[in-house]
Structure 1
Amino acid sequence: MASFEVIEVNGEPATEATLRVPALSSYGHFTAMQIRGGRVRGRDLHLARLDSATRELFGAGLEGERVRELVRHALGDISDASTRVYVHWPEGDKETRVMVTVRPPQTKADHPHGLMSVPYAREVAHIKHLGGFGQTHHLLAAQRAGFDEALLTAPGGLVTEGAITNIAFWDGTSVVWPQAPSLLGITMALLEPRLPSVRRPVTLADLPSYASAFITNSQGIAPVHRIDDVEFTVDAELMGRVTAAFEAVEWDVI
């Protein structure tokens, strides 16, 4: 696979001066997308996420066409990539600073994942914000303990989300998305209306009542085979159905 890395800020190659803001400030937000053939799944959801978070954090929106132009410029002749769009608004600037990074494409390892539950919930969880020290700390601790991902939980063992994923459970009839403060990931947002979905609270004590589980993020989907010492069946039929629903989503021109 080709190795490349592009970093642009407001459409210009990153410099020491323009990287000073992201280096010294963690107040901002981002979205992550996988681009194939110059297209991305859920483009309008990504643009809406960026606009909404910019309004909430900075008091003004971020035009989708501006984002698309900046992403296309950073991509140049690269058609397949893992791309992130970061948004800051330094004091004194008249508009947001949009940093676009372009790296080789990534796909989620589809092997069954093990998750370690941790008592931690992201602050302002509905925003994909910067400064994720806590979730990174717990993710690395889970991996050192032999797991693939950390499962974040609120008081009372309320399941919220993974450190870098959303999680869903299968009760034999419906896909259950935990009802709790969490980020609405783009892959989750695309899958939820395309599957027999419900939202309801899920606690660690409830886990044995579910037959199967899976996680999602911008890189794709993977089954879950255990959370702590609770084992789950890797349901090939379920995963085939979830994967088919995701693959049926159209790719939008960036």
Structure 2
Amino acid sequence: MSLPLVEINGIAASAAQMLAAGAGYGHFTSLQVRDGAVAGLSLHFRRLADATQRLFGSTLDLAQLRVWLEQALRNANALDAASVRIVVHAARFDRERPEAATPVDVMIAVSAAIERKRVPLRVQLRAYERELPQVKHLATFGLLWQRREARLAGYDDALFETRAGLISEGSVWNIGFWDGARVIWPQAPMLDGISQQVLKLGLVRNGVASEVRELRREQLRDLSSAFACNANGVAVPIASIDGIGFDPAPELIDELLRCYESAEPEAV
């Protein structure tokens, strides 16, 4: 079977089923498979289980999920390398009784693997907060609108600033900074991305100092380097934020990648 491949509950999905899976209420995770393994796979599974309980009041069968994931990769002949999106939704979700516990459905979409990005980004600070930011939910309209507006203004992407003036997250990525001695992670309501979690553990494992603290736009000039972090690019240098320049620091980027890659990938 060729890519892309989409299965729901382990069965090839129809167009109608795929449309329903992406309609509004649900959550997802995106991951990269290499040689039949994924960095932080257990973290992805924990994210899905926690969000399923929070959004649907039900339990996600992680053992069954693993079976469906391996099956989808094998059916797509993509165990060696693939991009995967796992979407948890509920075909039986009752909009009239959203408080009711609801059994969920799982869509697994397998597509071609991507090469991680390293081209420096020029980003624009924009006032925006995602609804329920701790969950990677399907309500992506707002963040994509902010990204579009930033690009129309001549930037590559958008970096969000909360109503309280705190730097939080990028459109589909987390951000980290370097102050010359340690990695600084912003403290604000945001999604704790899986790549960010894997990198944080790698920093500890390799003795690289880091801390989490509140950051505001007026403090950006005190920081020497910045980087974006997600499944598509673990340590993508940020060239500027609202015209404030940052050192691309290739040695730092290489060290961050080394820390990330020190994690043992988990077999599917």
Contact 2:58-2:102 within 8 A present in 1 as well: no
Q: How far 1:19 moved relative to its partner?
A: 2.6
Asked if the contact 2:180/2:224 (under 8 Å) is kept, the reply is yes
Match of 2:263 in 1: 249
Deviations 1:56-115 (A, max 9, x none): 111122122111111111112212110010001232796311000001011332011111
Q: Which aligned segments of 4 or more residues in structure 1 are displaced greater than 3 angstroms?
A: none
Q: Aligned partner of 2:258: which letter?
A: A
Secondary structure of 2:31 counterpart:
strand
Runs of at least 5 residues in structure 1 that lack an aligned partner in the other structure? none
Native 8 Å contact 1:156 1:203 kept in 2: no
What are the equivalent positions in structure 2 for 1:55-74 lying under 5 Å apart? 55-74=53-72
Alignment-mate amino acid for residue 200 of structure 1 = R
Output one character per residue of 1:206-243: Cα deviation in whole Å (capped at 9) or x when no partner: 11010101110011220111001100011122112101
State the partner residue of 2:188.
180
Paired amino acid for 1:59 = G
Residue 33 of structure 2: aligned partner: 35
Contact 1:54-1:62 at 8 Å conserved across structures: yes
Once the two structures are superposed, what CA deviation does each residue of 1:23-65 show, in whole Å capped at 9, x if it has no partner? 5x31100000000111110010000000000011111221221
d(CA) in 2 for partners of 1:197 and 1:64? Answer: 32
Q: Using the alignment, how far apart are the partners of 1:250 and 1:131 within structure 2?
A: 32
Alignment partner of 1:75: what SS? helix
Deviations 1:140-160, CA, capped at 9 Å, x for gaps = 222233322210110243111
* 1:12 Cα deviation from its structure 2 partner: 0.7
User: TM-score w.r.t. structure 2 length?
Assistant: 0.89
Specify the SS of the correspondent of 2:126: strand
CA deviation string 1:167-215 (max 9, x = no partner): 0011111111100000010110011132222100011111101010111
Aligned to 1:53: 51
Three-state SS of the structure 2 residue aligned to 1:48 is: helix
Contact 1:112 1:224 in 2 (8 A): yes
Partner in structure 2 of residue 148 of structure 1? 156
User: Aligned partners of 1:144 and 1:108: how far apart in 2?
Assistant: 24
Distance 1:6 1:14 in 2: 9
**1:1-254 → structure 2 map (5 Å cutoff):** 4-23=3-22, 25-76=23-74, 77-79=77-79, 80-89=81-90, 90-91=92-93, 95-195=103-203, 196-220=209-233, 221-254=235-268
Contact 1:158 1:202 in 2 (8 A): yes
Aligned identity (percent) is 35
- Whole-angstrom distance in 1 between the partners of 2:137 and 2:104: 15
Is the Cα contact below 8 Å between 1:157 and 1:205 reproduced in 2?
no
Question: Greater shift after overlay, 148-157 or 159-168?
Answer: 148-157
Q: Cα distance 1:41–1:69, how it changes in 2: closer, same or farther (>3 A)?
A: same
Measure, in 1, the Cα distance between the counterparts of 2:151 and 2:260: 27
Q: Which runs of 5+ in 2 are unaligned?
A: 95-100, 204-208
Aligned residue type for 2:185: W
Corresponding residue SS for 1:155: coil
Measure, in 2, the Cα distance between the counterparts of 1:129 and 1:174: 31
- Cα RMSD (Å): 1.6
Cα distance in structure 2, aligned partners of 1:78 and 1:218: 17
1:207 partner SS? helix
